[in-house]
């Protein structure tokens, strides 16, 4: 078959389009290809950039809203640390200690470490209602030679030289309507001081003891002592 220019043009007319949009000239060979979707890369990029801007804006707003709250949190943490520091620096060392006396005195050192008998400083405990507070001159039996330059010893020496009594803080007391005598407890019953005053040998500063009626009655029952109100405690 001889191809003429006219027949070749007619053949090319029905060839598929390179872009897949049908046949040239609108003809048909029984094939109907689906049209390709238009390119959408530019629209997707616009959507993504818009979403990114919104996300960044939201993060900035959240950051601005949370920054003041974060400052309050740090302020609270600093206040808590300061309170803990004050507690452990000032109050915790005082836990388990009795009242502070005008001149420091450690029963733990004297009665515990040095093993000085209680009767040396409290000589009336076996022959009087009151155990007695030692006179200052008795302190200098030892401290005239032992650590005489200690600040607390010098402070007591000043009181002694000026004949000015030391205002000791009272720790133990019973009501006026209660009769108590150390003699039957220490001399006759042979009780140790720690039975009523606690483990004095382990205390730097003595802890007060609340001598209520139940405390005394419980000990009297345990020891089989007198429980009569008039003969025992109330006269």
Is it the case that residue 68 has pLDDT exceeding 60? Answer: no
Contact 15, 23 (CB under 8 A): yes
Residue 123 sits in the same domain as residue 53: no
Residue 190: inside a domain: yes
Residue 227 sits in the same domain as residue 182: yes
Rounded CA-CA distance 159/162 in Å is 5
Residue 49 sits in the same domain as residue 112: no
Last residue of a domain, one of 34, 64, 94: 94
Residue 186: inside a domain: yes
Residue 19: inside a domain: no
Residue 228 sits in the same domain as residue 190: yes
Residue 201 sits in the same domain as residue 172: yes
Residue 111 sits in the same domain as residue 222: yes
Residue 215: inside a domain: yes
Is it the case that residue 16 has pLDDT exceeding 90? Answer: no
Residue 223 sits in the same domain as residue 179: yes
Q: Which residues form the domain of 114?
A: 107-133+168-232
Calculate the alpha carbon distances from 86 to 73, 79, 95, 188 in Å: 20, 11, 14, 49
pLDDT band at 234 (very low <50, low <70, confident <90, very high): confident
Residue 27: inside a domain: no
Whether the predicted model's global pTM rises above the 0.75 cut = no
Residue 161: inside a domain: no
The structural domain count of the chain equals 2
Q: Mean per-residue pLDDT for 210-214?
A: 87
Residue 57 sits in the same domain as residue 89: yes
Residue 212 sits in the same domain as residue 111: yes
Residue 48 sits in the same domain as residue 122: no
Report the phi/psi class of residue 20: left, alpha or beta, with left for phi > 0 and alpha for psi in -120 to 50.
Answer: left
Q: Mean per-residue pLDDT for 79-99?
A: 74
pLDDT tens-digit map of 113-143? 999 999 999 989 888 888 888 899 999 999 9
Single out the residue of 98, 102, 99, 100 nearest to residue 156, CA to CA: 102
């Amino acid at each position: 078959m001889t191809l003429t220019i006219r027949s070749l043009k007619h053949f090319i007319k029905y060839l598929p389009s390179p872009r897949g949009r049908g046949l040239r000239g609108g003809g048909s060979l029984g094939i109907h290809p689906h049209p390709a979707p238009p390119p959408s890369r530019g629209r997707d990029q616009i959507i993504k950039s818009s979403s990114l801007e919104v996300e960044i804006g939201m993060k900035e707003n959240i950051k601005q809203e949370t920054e003041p709250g974060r400052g309050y949190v740090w302020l609270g943490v600093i206040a808590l640390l300061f309170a803990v520091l004050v507690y452990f620096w000032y109050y915790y060392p005082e836990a388990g200690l009795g009242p502070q006396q005008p001149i420091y005195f450690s029963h733990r050192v004297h009665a515990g470490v040095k093993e000085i008998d209680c009767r040396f400083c409290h000589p009336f405990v076996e022959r009087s209602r009151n155990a007695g507070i030692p006179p200052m001159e008795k302190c200098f039996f030892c401290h005239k030679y032992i650590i005489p330059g200690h600040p607390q010893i010098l402070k007591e020496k000043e009181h002694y030289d000026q004949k000015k009594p030391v205002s000791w803080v009272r720790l133990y007391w019973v009501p006026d309507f209660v009769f108590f005598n150390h003699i039957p407890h220490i001399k006759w019953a042979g009780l140790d001081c720690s039975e009523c005053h606690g483990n004095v040998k382990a205390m730097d500063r003595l802890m007060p003891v609340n001598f209520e009626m139940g405390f005394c009655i419980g000990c009297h029952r345990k020891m089989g002592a007198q429980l009569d109100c008039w003969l025992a405690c109330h006269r």
